[in-house]
Structure 1
């Protein structure tokens, strides 16, 4: 895994998709590695069969060539289709697990996008908003109700969850959660005009004491 990560963009740092800091992001990261392993298995099998076919052709062995054709159908097709079917079932199962569900400890917040700002509001602290910084409690699931005031944006905190579009006139809900207190980088991962690269925000995860202080207004 370490060798693979050294060859890939985004395997470390604040915007890493395979350095998860929460359960949703961890599930997505696992799915990514499973998909990569399945793709590598299919590619490896295809390369082996391709090499065997070229060797049989060079040798001019009719029996070997006929045998290779059987292997291509038996492994190249059946194996590949089986792997793809398994990956599809696994992906659907994982996707279902990522859907928001009601719970006593779920925190509800909202995210409102515009060019070029994010404004966040908190259901348990009516009337209070923050610009550019979303405050959440660490170790608790948070449902983010996402919308936009102008064009389509995209809410994404790679280390905490997948991304979800912010659509004008529509609300999409994303479940995020941070394992530990800390700051996590977020961004709008949707091109929405000149300046979109600076359309970023921060998620600040608090421990229980700091979260209670924020909810009571002692911390802004």
Structure 2
């Protein structure tokens, strides 16, 4: 069957005397199937590279990897130990850079409130969510703390805002119940977007650690 000749294309050939003759070019069934297979593979590769160049998700660029959530796979004991290690003192200071100039200015999260004291370091992507990301349990404790203390994932919030937000995501945090103040819509919208971007960055950071660990084992 593979060696059965079949018409593949119509070609023209110049005779050299001002005339062109048409002829039918033949190929075997096996040759045609082989060419089709190569073309199909090339098309898939092109599609993969296109997706890779856009981060695999429309509009994400090189931000990272879409988060893969599941059940938390680390023990409560380890979770509590990690909780004690994040945020670090360095991060608490980082979110308070220039705090002297911010005292007395409007609270960006709570309209009508003002910054009156040092800011508190808040995980933008919640620790409880990071701990549920796929492969987090495969990291060393040191690597887990590096992910949890990723500097990009922290924002300075006023004490009132931080207590109000608690363990809620920015999508779920809509109101400061104590004084019935709605969270500033623009601030919340920006933070929801930032939260989604950071989910991807953190998942990629986790996956990169796992890949690095595999390479170390293979050495």
Relative to the length of structure 1, the TM-score reads 0.29
More strand as a share of residues: 1
More helix as a share of residues: 2
Relative to the length of structure 2, the TM-score reads 0.29
Could you say which structure has the larger radius of gyration? 2
